[in-house]
Amino acid sequence: MIKPLRKAVLPVAGLGTRFLPATKAMAKEMLPVVDKPLIQYAVEEARAAGIQQFCLVTGRGKTAIVEHFDIAYELESTLRARAKDAELALLREAQLPPGAVVTVRQQEPLGLGHAIWCARAFIGEDPFAILLPDDLVLSETPCTMQLADAYYQTGGCVVAVTEVPREQTNRYGILDIGHEDGRLVEVRGLVEKPRPEDAPSNLSIIGRYVLMPQVLEHLSRMERGAGNEVQLTDAMAKLIGHVPFHGLRFEGRRFDCGDKVGFLEAQIAFALKRPEMAGAVRSFLKNYV
Ligand code: G1P
């Protein structure tokens, strides 16, 4: 029996050093693309895929992220008194039902694998999605929904993948692939951040996963990998051969918002999707090319 996918873990403890000074006193996940913080895109994408329970793996200085999904009573009553209905609706969109969010702390930056392991009590025995809010996906069907569909089809782990230039394999988790069936590719191996000459392919994992809880057993050993961190990729690799494991060439475009240029590109791409501003954006862009 394939268990329903209802849980998501969102690691948000990162220091955001690539965005200093903006992230000196503010969580990088609160940086907006157009007018919505990165974390809200991730939560909305997960909810569209049927996720109902969220675990934010936070660290010091990240409370604004949790507040963002709360009820903002004072703001709501002020907006109501001023009959600002559209703005009120925007506030409500950024509100999660009671009990839908829990937080755990990752006290030390020991890696993505360690962050996921910190959520072990939340995950329990259930399948779960992971969304890394730095990765933003623009697609017809929300990326996590595409992964969920593939999970219900295969009953195992599914990671969203995309091709990257060979010289960039050392930035990502890279797949060793077997049989391909449409958008689904069989995963035969996984390597975290291999040098281009060692990479088994140029198919990289983006920050969207559906994983089986067995990954926690491997994470609990706290073995260090690339960068001397506890790597999620290494623990996932140990599941290959024990549970179905696929990569999904998702439909859509990924923007790496952990990178300044990627973040700027996301602003443009998402702004051009907004009818109320697309024209103005397109016309000012002409001044720069
Ligand atoms: C993490 C993962 C990596 C994955 C990437 C996607 O790396 O470790 O396998 O390809 O996210 O964004 P990080 O970006 O944390 O270095």
Q: Concatenate the DSSP letters of all residues of the chain into one string.
A: -PPP--EEEEE-----GGGTTTTSSS-GGG-EETTEEHHHHHHHHHHHTT--EEEEEE-TT-HHHHHHTS--HHHHHHHHHTT-HHHHHHHHHT-PPTT-EEEEE--S---HHHHHHTTHHHHTTS-EEEE-TTEEEE-SS-HHHHHHHHHHHHSSEEEEEEE--GGGGGGSEEEEEEEEETTEEEEEEEEES--GGG-S-SEEEEEEEEE-TTHHHHHTT----GGGS--HHHHHHTTBTTB-EEEEE-SSEEEETTSHHHHHHHHHHHHTT-HHHHHHHHHHHGGG-
Please write the tens of the pLDDT for every residue from 271-284: 999 999 999 999 99
pLDDT tens-digit map of 86-124: 999 999 999 999 999 999 999 999 999 999 999 999 999
Q: Is the CB of 211 under 6 A from ligand 1?
A: no
The answer to whether the CB of 135 is under 6 A from ligand 1 is: yes
pLDDT at 15: 85
Tell me the CA–centroid distance for residue 43 and ligand 1, in Å: 19
For ligand 1, the distance from its centroid to the CA atom of residue 93, given in whole angstroms, is 28
The closest-lying atom of ligand 1 relative to the alpha carbon of residue 172 is 10
User: Within a 10 A sphere around the Cβ of 134, how many other Cβ atoms?
Assistant: 24
Ligand 1 centroid vs 273 CA: distance in angstroms?
27
Mean of all residue pLDDT scores within the chain: 96
For ligand 1, whether the C-beta of 162 sits within 6 Å is no
The pTM of the full predicted model, rounded to 2 decimals, is: 0.96
**Whole-number pLDDT of residue 97:** 95
Q: What is the predicted pLDDT for the residue at 61?
A: 85
- pLDDT single digits (tens) 23-56: 999 999 999 999 999 999 999 999 999 999 999 9
Query: For domain 7-288, which CATH number applies: 3.90.550.10, 3.90.79.10, 2.40.50.100, 1.10.3720.10?
Result: 3.90.550.10
Residues whose CB is less than 8 angstroms from the CB of residue 116 and which lie 6 or more positions away in sequence, other chains included: 9, 11, 57, 130, 215, 216, 219, 232
